[in-house]
Each structure stands twice: as C-alpha cells, then as structure tokens.
Amino acid sequence: NLEWIEGIAILVAVLVVVFVTAFNDWRKERQFRGLQSKIEKDQQASVVRDNHIQQIPVTELVVGDLCFIKYGDLIPADGIIVQSSDLKIDESSLTGETDLIRKDEGEDVGLLSGTHVMEGSGRMVVLGVGLNSQVRSIMSLLGATADGNESKDRKSNITTPSTKAPSDLSKQSVHLEDETKQRTPTISEKRSHEDQLRLVKTSKDKNDNKTNESTRDNKKKSQNKAKNAAAELTEDTEDDHIDAGDAKHISVLQLKLTTLALYIGYIGMSAAFLTLISLILRYCITTYVIKKQKPSGIDIGYFISFLIQAITVIVVAVPEGLPLAVTVALAYAVRKMMTDNNLVRHLDACETMGNASTICSDKTGTLTTNSMTVVQSYITGRSV
C-alpha cells in the first residue's frame, strides 16, 4: 500500500511553497529595513539645541527647529528661510524642472523636503515633518504609506458637512431673532395710540412667526442636503475603498494562474465524469448483457471503485506543482536582480515589471512644441 506517498508528496509541495514565499518575504523585508535604518542614520541635520549646533538624525527633527543647510544637503523637512547666502535649490525631484530656484528671505522663502541645495547656504525654520511634509504627502497619495491615515481623513472629511451646516444656520436664526427683537421696541415707542400699538403687535407676531418658520424651513432643508451629501460621500468612499482593496491583493500573474487552474479543473471534472460513465457502462454491458448475471451486492463495490478512479482523475488534473514552479522562478529572478543592485521587497514586482511594454520617463519636466524660433540675431555687428 503506497497511497500514503501521494499524500506526503502533496504536503511537502505545499510546505515548500509556503516556506519559500515566507522566507523570501522575510529576507527582503529585513534587507529593506536594514537599508532604511542605514539611510536614516547617514542622514544628519544641523540644528540648534540648547544654544549649541548639534548633528541629529533627520527623523528627530521637530516643528520649530532652526536647521542649517548648505551646498550638497538634502532638505530634510518643509520650512521657511530666515537667512540665506546665494541659496539655489534643485526642485526637479518634485516638479521635474531642472532650472535652479533661487531662494531668499525676501521673495521665495518656502523650502520643500526632498529637494537638494545646489549653491549657497542658509538657515530655515522647520514647519512640516513626517507625514505632514511634501514628500510624505505625495507618497501617501501614491499609496506608499499605510492606508489607515487616509481612511481616517476621509471619515473626518465626510462628517464635516453634516456638522457645520446646522450650527451655521442656528447662528443665523438666532441672529435674525435678535434683530427682530431689537427692532420691535423702537417701532412700538413711536406709536402713541392704542389702536396703532395693537396693529404693531399683531404685525410683529406675524413677522416673527414668518421669520421663525422660514428659518426652520431653511434649517431643515440645509440639514437634509448635508445629510444626503454625507451619505453619498460615504457610499462612494466605501465603494472606492472596497474596489481598491480587492484590486490591490490580486496581481496579473495570480489572476492568470487562477483562470488557468479553473480551466484545468473544468477539463479534469469533464474527464472524470466521462471516465465514470464509461466504466459503469462497460461493467453493466459486460455483466448484465453479455454474461446475463443478476444484480448483487458485489456490484456496489465495483461502482465505488469506479467513483474512486474518477476522483483520482480530478486530483491528478489539479496543478499543485504550478504555484511551486512560479514561486521558485520568481525567487530566482529576485536573486538575479539583487546582483544588479536592485532590491525587490515583493515577488509580485518582478511579474509587474515583466508585463511592462512601454516605459515613460521624465526628462526635463518641460513641455515644448518642438519648433525653433528666432530670439536674437546679429547683422553687420549689430544686435537686432
């Protein structure tokens, strides 16, 4: 009885796939964390602490620090210039423009993180660090950071319309009521006769009722509009979040492998069904027609063996070795890329880059019409 070999082989294949994938992910994550910590330690900033200039890691910068920048430095945080000396910044990493931007405390005082100091030196006051800086905000929009902060921001933005509208309208209604109350005594004082006073009181009550009714109607309408807008925003945001979450975890290769496995499964089930029908028909024709035997309890054992053979066809048709082969191939590709100084954190990145047919790169960030025009000419030694 060697049937246990098949079960052990399937179990070993599954364990190999899980182990190889987990080991590659763990090793790449450890290497990435090591490089990230090394980069963070190498990036130092000169700040004033305790009336002394100190070198601290960029990650320890806080809002309000006075930071010194000079030629060759990478600006670690967003801030404004308080003193500069021929300071020129390369903002091509953010804008794509290769022209150097002159910065001074008189005109352009803003400095953005991720840009490089190409000339001069200066001092800046830190205004934005971490996720509040320009680079981190761009990375968060691109999905490079965690999605928890984005979901919190979306929820806060959604609840804003429904909370502000009633308060503003309540203030307006109170203001209107105060104005009507302030106007009525001045009118009543000018009226001396009792009949005129009664007319003023009745008109005042009517006006107050109309004002209160109109204020309540406007308040209810605005509240309903705010609630409807908040509900629509909530539904749209939840749908977008669900769609993005579903599409994020399924790669192109995984989708193709899943489709292939389904097709193979359909073919295997069809073959198993045909095998079962063929075996049953052959047994029935041979036993009941040719040999002319009567049905007995022994036939049930034969039918069960035919069913086991059909199930075996289905099991054999399932490509359990396909995930293992793909995982090993991707792991080998990752190792080859590491020899070219390319650190791949996820195996899916190899497959994504392999599907890229066209790569668009940013050259200068400036759009041109590709047509030359005359700017200046020299004729007979004179500039025209």
Do residues 132 and 99 touch, judged by C-beta distance below 8 A? no
- State the Cα–Cα distance between residues 25 and 12, nearest whole angstrom: 20
Strand partners, 57: 44
CB atoms within 10 A of CB 200: 15
What pLDDT is recorded for position 143? Answer: 67
* Active-site annotation, residues: 362
DSSP state of 290: I
Strand partners, 109: none
What pLDDT is recorded for position 79? Answer: 92
Do residues 366 and 55 touch, judged by C-beta distance below 8 A? no
What pLDDT is recorded for position 131? Answer: 81
Query: Checking phi first, is residue 154 left (phi over 0); if not, alpha (psi -120 to 50) or beta?
Result: alpha
pLDDT in tens, 115-173: 889 999 899 999 988 888 887 888 777 765 445 544 555 545 444 344 333 444 344 43
- State the Cα–Cα distance between residues 158 and 164, nearest whole angstrom: 11
93 Cβ neighbours under 8 A, 6+ residues apart: 114, 115, 116
Say what the pTM is.
Answer: 0.40
Of 29-43, 196-210, 263-277, 342-356, minimum mean pLDDT range: 196-210
- State the Cα–Cα distance between residues 78 and 321, nearest whole angstrom: 52
What pLDDT is recorded for position 97? Answer: 77
Quote the distance between the C-alpha of residue 3 and its chain's center: 48
Helix (H, G, I), strand (E, B) or coil at 116: strand
Assigned fold of 46-141: 2.70.150
Where would I find the H helices in 249-320? 252-284, 298-317
Label residue 74 by pLDDT band (50, 70, 90). confident
Cα end-to-end distance, the chain, whole Å:
101
DSSP state of 118: E
Q: Residue 248: is its pLDDT beyond 60? A: no
pLDDT in tens, 326-360: 777 777 777 787 778 777 777 777 777 777 888 77
321 Cβ neighbours under 8 A, 6+ residues apart: 13
Of 109-123, 235-249, 297-311, minimum mean pLDDT range: 235-249
CB atoms within 10 A of CB 246: 9
What pLDDT is recorded for position 154? Answer: 52
CB atoms within 10 A of CB 48: 13
What pLDDT is recorded for position 197? Answer: 46
Label residue 36 by pLDDT band (50, 70, 90). confident
- State the Cα–Cα distance between residues 270 and 192, nearest whole angstrom: 103
Do residues 241 and 191 touch, judged by C-beta distance below 8 A? no
Q: Which of 173-177, 217-221, 347-351 has the highest mean pLDDT?
A: 347-351
175 Cβ neighbours under 8 A, 6+ residues apart: none
Do residues 117 and 87 touch, judged by C-beta distance below 8 A? yes
Assigned token pair, 29: 């994550």
Sign of CA dihedral 224, 225, 230, 235: positive
- State the Cα–Cα distance between residues 376 and 140, nearest whole angstrom: 46
pLDDT in tens, 263-287: 888 898 999 999 999 999 999 998 8
What pLDDT is recorded for position 244? Answer: 40
With 0-12 CB in 10 A as exposed, 13-18 as middle and 19+ as buried, what is 349?
A: middle
The full set of domain ranges for the chain reads: 46-141, 150-248, 252-319
What pLDDT is recorded for position 364? Answer: 59
Of 107-111, 157-161, 213-217, 350-354, minimum mean pLDDT range: 157-161
